Amino acid sequence: MKKKKNFSEEEALYHLTMLLLALEYLHSKHIVHRDFKPSNIMVEIYPNDFYILKVGDFGLSKIDLESMKRKMT
């Protein structure tokens, strides 16, 4: 994948959607990342220029125990 400085509106929406789905998944598991920034977003490239974004570096993440307790009661 070639580096681009500007994304089309459609590409930007695609990237944002992938990142929001990743955060939604983490939050559904009561995980708070706490260091969400561009350098912690990785790209996995597949054939035919298909790629997905992945969130990495969970060194500062934590489990939201209060949220888990509220959900259980």
54 three-state secondary structure: strand
How many other CB atoms are found less than 10 A from the CB of residue 50?
A: 9
pLDDT of residue 64: 75
Q: 16 lies in a domain?
A: yes
Mean model confidence pLDDT for the chain = 81
- The answer to whether residue 4 scores a pLDDT higher than 60 is no
Q: 2 lies in a domain?
A: no
Angle (CA) 21-24-25 rounded to 5° is 90
pLDDT of residue 8: 85
50 is in which domain, residue-wise? 9-72
Q: Write the pLDDT tens digit of every residue in 13-42.
A: 988 999 899 889 888 888 888 778 888 888
Q: 3 lies in a domain?
A: no
Q: 47 lies in a domain?
A: yes
Catalytic residue numbers? 35
**Domains contained in the chain, number:** 1
Domain CATH number, residue 24: 1.10.510.10
Task: Name the nearest CA neighbour of 13 among 44, 60, 73, 53.
Answer: 53
